[in-house]
Amino acid sequence: MTIKQPGARASGRRDVTWRDDAACRVMPPDLFFPAGTSGAALENIDAAKAVCNACPVRSACLRFAFETKQEDGIWGGTTEVERRRLRRAWLADRRRLAKMSA
């Protein structure tokens, strides 16, 4: 299976065709934007992550979240806090790779 990766189109717009294959597409959006981080919200977070874990475009979703600085909700199976930590590492890797190719 080929996983579509988001990227810039020739027109300058980001390619989001991967969304067509996203498991969350048929789920209620509220599931991926829980109100809070305790109680019932924890159940929603776990349920959203379970959907993401079975999603064929999870990595494309997470990359999109990194590239577009998504601060809210569950993206690519990560919470806001998890994504902030992962994004810092992702940005550091990109800077390192840019220096190596320069």
Residue 83: pLDDT above 90? yes
Side-chain-facing half-sphere of 9: CA atoms under 13 Å: 6
Residue 32: pLDDT above 60? yes
- Domain range list for the chain: 17-101
Least Cα distance to 43 among 11, 74, 7 occurs for 74
Q: Report how far residue 97's alpha carbon sits from residue 102's, in angstroms, rounded to the nearest whole number.
A: 9
Least Cα distance to 84 among 68, 75, 71, 97 occurs for 71
Residue 84: pLDDT above 60? yes
**Single pTM value for the model:** 0.77
